[in-house]
Structure 1
């Protein structure tokens, strides 16, 4: 399959702009609702290759920066029942391949979380590259995947009397990333 064209595409190394990016997650609660959260601190590098398929990404997420808007729930999610963020303070994603997929891309890689490393596939939309009004260059990416908590050793499994789980095993992850092109090395 031929890779979709990306307006303004150029190769280079990019730094994720944390102030203009988000790492979000959603879990089902009591089988009827959804709880949304985010990680406030993360860093990462994107490499755009000569072609999109030659690109790569590495990102590290601070697990202690979890925020669902509810301090009691955040404390529970940071505890040994879930992330154990005192013991496992970071999560890391490293890509291994990028493939065209319809008008988007699939990014294969490994996610390390809670002492476990598992393969993950992200569906990625490359939103484009622009020269910003401040003399820099910016790229935008949106990605989505779903993981299973159990695959990462997160085995909390409270069952509801009528069936279903208190907290779903499947967790939806959404990334909206803006990155700035690193200045070339000066010799």
Structure 2
């Protein structure tokens, strides 16, 4: 039996930070995203799909927001989504470090991406099964077609997310009976 998990966007977040002039940081987040996971019984063999609406970026500064969605940076009109897919699930890396590997599609580029899993919590309250994951990674902007020159921006973006998924209630109630 396959179990379907839907992302709870009310309880989840995806944020980023980018060094600016080596002394400050631009911090922001994405306001609109969705995702789902299909797994086996014990959360084995997960197939993960995450989609972020590029134009939903927010730094709480309109000028920065417009610069980030412009053709010179995210190109939100031409590339409306950032997607991440994985069908390999988490695996142990060096020591006890959990990593999630998959493919990210971003601004017309497709690359392998490894996310460090900093927390994974499963909860069963008798009515609903939930899973919460905290993940982080660093992206090199040059790998995605950004030509960062000079000293204004760092060439890397730190991405952090906490994603809460709820199991489809029909599957959960069937499992419980």
TM-score bracket for this pair, using the shorter chain length: 0.7 to 0.9
Which shifted more, 45-54 or 92-101? Answer: 45-54
Tell whether 2:10 aligns with 1:24.
no
The two structures, once aligned, show a CA RMSD in angstroms of 2.0
> Does the CA-based 8 Å contact 2:118-2:136 persist in structure 1?
no
1:43 corresponds in structure 2 to: 34
Please report how far the alpha carbon of residue 129 of structure 1 lies from its aligned counterpart in structure 2 after TM superposition: 1.4
Q: 2:102 aligns with which of 103, 109, 113?
A: 109
Q: Point out 4+ residue stretches in structure 1 off by more than 6 angstroms.
A: none
> Does the CA-based 8 Å contact 1:126-1:142 persist in structure 2?
yes
Once the two structures are superposed, what CA deviation does each residue of 1:82-137 show, in whole Å capped at 9, x if it has no partner?
Answer: 0010111100001142212444421111110001001100011443211348x322
**How many residues of Structure 1 are paired with residues of Structure 2 in the alignment?**
169
* In structure 2, distance between residues paired with 1:181 and 1:126: 18
1:175 corresponds in structure 2 to: 161
1:147 corresponds in structure 2 to: 139
1:73 corresponds in structure 2 to: 64
CA gap 1:171/1:67 in 2 versus in 1, 3 angstroms = same
> Does the CA-based 8 Å contact 2:45-2:87 persist in structure 1?
no
Tell whether 2:70 aligns with 1:84.
no
Q: Residue 72 of structure 1: SS of its match in structure 2?
A: helix
CA gap 1:34/1:76 in 2 versus in 1, 3 angstroms = same
> Does the CA-based 8 Å contact 1:150-1:169 persist in structure 2?
yes
Once the two structures are superposed, what CA deviation does each residue of 1:38-81 show, in whole Å capped at 9, x if it has no partner?
Answer: 00000101233355562231100000100011000000011111
* In structure 2, distance between residues paired with 1:149 and 1:13: 33
> Does the CA-based 8 Å contact 1:81-1:156 persist in structure 2?
no
* In structure 2, distance between residues paired with 1:69 and 1:33: 15
TM-score (norm. length: structure 1): 0.82
> Does the CA-based 8 Å contact 1:53-1:100 persist in structure 2?
no
Q: Residue 75 of structure 1: SS of its match in structure 2?
A: helix
Which shifted more, 21-30 or 104-113? Answer: 104-113
